């Protein structure tokens, strides 16, 4: 039996106010509770394995007022992004996606040597290089000094700084306003969401365009992509909610499209509320945008019950994953993995899978090789390790790159090895 003091403390914890990071309404609805997990990109050295490893709650809530799905800020951006293990240029398919985008943007928005393209979260210059090659002035902003250094070595002007309204104001005063302001997979990474949108507005030229890509919440729900939830993703967006957030800061989303990247993403375009020179219909919105908003409504993204049901769906996926790995080991099969993505770390830690099930993983990035996955402590090797050990199963942790990886690792067919993906369900290829 617990004491009255303990009961009062538990009640106080349950009653603690959690404000929505956009509308400030009280958060009380759980989207999914994934237990506790280490920071998803906190890869370990061998010497770290005997030390204490911090774990943080990975509990996603949904605001019943604005339907923003979000994590509480349990770890700061400074902890996560100041020295970052992810380099965008190691994915060939992502580079091709970026090249096509740059070509399209130059033509659609009439960019030339008198324009300015600014990218937030520019990483190692994977995208800005294509604008620079077209003779267009560029500026990258990224908080990770190691990846920003790599971009500068490529000749790309890059600030290693966290982006906020203060920095945006300073750059605007210096005359650096963006004709095209890009943020690919960055919207979710900044906890002070309202300040971020304010910063976009300050840095945008009066007739400029904001272009953002981010995972689509509808895809996350329908494809059970719980592994895309991790501590560096503070927020998860539908188009409906994103439009509302931008409108609150005087920015108008005028177009949107679905992308296949990251298992289903949105690309949205926004401008100043009173901008003249953007493509739009009579309502100020493209037909594509209107169709996507209607689709989200029809799929239940304005119904709290849609969000309440997600947690149980995730538990079912977990049970199926465990059935597979336990069954494989009981049959004497060997299992390795490909990739060391952040999403893979969420999945492994939530399911409790470590070296007792997966012998090792491999990754093309030398920045990860020789280290260990956080939490699970699975070792990371060069991809050549696969041919040397010939595993029966190769689990593709970055399932969004399945086709690219299966082509790269086709050699496993020589010993009748099989590929496995675990999301949205276990599939063996």
Two tokens, residue 210: 């904001």
Calpha distance 161→51 (Å, rounded): 30
Calpha distance 361→400 (Å, rounded): 17
Q: Are strands 56-62 and 29-37 parallel, antiparallel or unpaired?
A: antiparallel
Q: Can you say whether the dihedral through the CA atoms of 66, 71, 76, 78 is positive or negative?
A: negative
Residue 366 burial (CB < 10 Å; 0-12/13-18/19+)? exposed
pLDDT digits (tens, 9 = 90+) for 403-426: 999 999 999 999 999 999 999 999
Segment 36-57 shows an average pLDDT of 94
153: number of Cβ within 10 Å: 11
- Tell me the residue ranges of DSSP E strands in 260-414: 265-272, 335-338, 361-362, 380-381, 393-396
Question: Which three-class secondary structure state does DSSP give residue 300?
Answer: coil
For 252, which DSSP code?
Answer: E
Higher pLDDT, residue 277 or 27 = 27
Tell me if 142 is assigned to some domain. Answer: yes
Share of the chain above pLDDT 90, in %: 78
Beta-bridge partners for 335: 393
Tell me if 61 is assigned to some domain. Answer: no
Looking at the structure, do residues 183 and 292 belong to the same domain, yes or no?
yes
Calpha distance 346→63 (Å, rounded): 22
pLDDT at 282: 45
Higher pLDDT, residue 142 or 91 = 142
Of the pLDDT bands very low, low, confident and very high (cuts 50, 70, 90), residue 78 is: low
pLDDT at 147: 82
Tell me if 49 is assigned to some domain. Answer: no
Calpha distance 415→390 (Å, rounded): 7
Segment 164-185 shows an average pLDDT of 95
Domain end point (choices 273, 306, 339): 306
Looking at the structure, do residues 293 and 329 belong to the same domain, yes or no?
no
pLDDT of 180 > 70? The answer is yes
Two tokens, residue 335: 């299992």
Looking at the structure, do residues 268 and 340 belong to the same domain, yes or no?
no
Tell me if 286 is assigned to some domain. Answer: yes
Looking at the structure, do residues 299 and 376 belong to the same domain, yes or no?
no
Looking at the structure, do residues 98 and 229 belong to the same domain, yes or no?
yes
pLDDT of 77 > 70? The answer is no
Of the pLDDT bands very low, low, confident and very high (cuts 50, 70, 90), residue 10 is: very low
Q: Is the peptide bond before 36 cis (omega within 30 degrees of 0)?
A: no
Calpha distance 234→188 (Å, rounded): 5
Calpha distance 107→263 (Å, rounded): 27
Phi, psi of 6 (to 5 degrees): -65, -40
Tell me if 260 is assigned to some domain. Answer: yes
Looking at the structure, do residues 341 and 208 belong to the same domain, yes or no?
no
Looking at the structure, do residues 196 and 233 belong to the same domain, yes or no?
yes
Of the pLDDT bands very low, low, confident and very high (cuts 50, 70, 90), residue 297 is: very high
What crossing angle do the helices spanning 165-173 and 193-203 adopt, rounded to 10°?
Answer: 10
Higher pLDDT, residue 158 or 29 = 29
Segment 131-158 shows an average pLDDT of 89
pLDDT digits (tens, 9 = 90+) for 214-256: 999 999 999 999 999 999 899 999 999 999 999 999 999 999 9
Q: How many residues does the chain have?
A: 429
pLDDT at 310: 98
Domain limits for position 186: 88-306
Domain end point (choices 279, 306, 333): 306
For 125, which DSSP code?
Answer: S
Tell me what the pLDDT averaged over the chain comes to: 91
265: number of Cβ within 10 Å: 20
Of the pLDDT bands very low, low, confident and very high (cuts 50, 70, 90), residue 9 is: very low
Tell me if 153 is assigned to some domain. Answer: yes
Number of domains, the chain: 2
Tell me if 164 is assigned to some domain. Answer: yes
Query: In Å, what is the CA distance from 316 to each residue of 44, 91, 304?
Result: 30, 31, 20
The CATH number of residue 184's host domain is 3.40.50.150
Looking at the structure, do residues 298 and 330 belong to the same domain, yes or no?
no
Looking at the structure, do residues 344 and 401 belong to the same domain, yes or no?
yes
pLDDT at 71: 96
Looking at the structure, do residues 290 and 328 belong to the same domain, yes or no?
no
Looking at the structure, do residues 338 and 384 belong to the same domain, yes or no?
yes
Looking at the structure, do residues 149 and 109 belong to the same domain, yes or no?
yes
pLDDT of 281 > 50? The answer is no
The CATH number of residue 407's host domain is 3.40.50.720
pLDDT digits (tens, 9 = 90+) for 93-134: 778 888 999 999 999 999 999 999 999 998 888 899 999 999
Tell me if 12 is assigned to some domain. Answer: no
Two tokens, residue 200: 């976009």
């Amino acid at each position: 039996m617990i004491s009255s003091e303990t009961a009062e403390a538990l009640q106080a914890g349950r009653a603690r106010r959690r404000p929505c990071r956009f509308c400030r309404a009280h958060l009380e609805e759980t989207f999914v509770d994934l237990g506790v997990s280490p920071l998803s990109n906190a890869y370990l050295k061998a010497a770290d394995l005997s030390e204490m490893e911090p774990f943080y709650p990975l509990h996603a809530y949904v605001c019943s007022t604005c339907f923003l799905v979000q994590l509480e800020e349990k770890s700061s951006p400074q902890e996560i992004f100041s020295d970052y293990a992810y380099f965008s240029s190691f994915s060939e398919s992502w580079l091709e996606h970026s090249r096509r985008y740059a070509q399209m943007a130059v033509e659609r928005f009439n960019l030339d040597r008198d324009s300015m393209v600014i990218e937030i979260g520019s990483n190692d210059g994977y995208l800005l290089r294509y604008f620079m090659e077209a003779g267009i002035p560029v500026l990258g902003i990224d908080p990770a000094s190691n990846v920003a250094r790599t971009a500068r070595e490529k000749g790309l002007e890059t600030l290693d700084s966290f982006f906020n309204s203060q920095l945006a104001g300073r750059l605007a005063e210096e005359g650096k306003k963006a004709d095209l302001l890009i943020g690919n997979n960055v919207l979710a990474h900044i906890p002070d969401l309202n300040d971020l949108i304010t910063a976009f507005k300050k840095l945008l030229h009066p007739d400029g365009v904001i272009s953002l890509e981010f995972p689509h919440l509808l895809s996350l729900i329908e494809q059970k992509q719980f592994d895309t939830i991790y501590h560096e993703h503070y927020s998860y967006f539908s188009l409906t909610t994103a439009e509302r957030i931008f409108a609150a800061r005087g920015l108008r989303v005028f177009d949107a499209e679905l992308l296949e990247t990251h298992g289903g993403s949105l690309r949205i375009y926004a401008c100043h509320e009173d901008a003249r020179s953007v493509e739009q219909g009579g309502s100020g919105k493209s037909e594509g945008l209107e169709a996507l908003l209607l689709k989200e409504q029809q799929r239940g993204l304005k119904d709290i019950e849609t969000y309440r049901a997600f947690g149980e769906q995730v538990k079912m996926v977990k049970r199926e994953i465990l059935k597979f790995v336990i069954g494989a080991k009981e049959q004497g099969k060997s299992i390795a993995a490909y990739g060391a993505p952040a999403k893979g770390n969420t999945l492994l830690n939530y399911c409790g899978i470590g070296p007792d099930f997966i012998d090792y993983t491999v990754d093309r990035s030398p920045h990860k090789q020789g280290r260990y996955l956080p939490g699970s402590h699975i070792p990371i090797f060069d991809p050549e390790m696969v041919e040397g050990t010939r595993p029966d199963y190769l689990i593709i942790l970055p399932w969004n790159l399945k086709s690219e990886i299966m082509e790269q690792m086709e050699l496993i067919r020589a010993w009748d090895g099989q590929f496995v993906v675990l999301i949205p369900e276990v599939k063996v290829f």
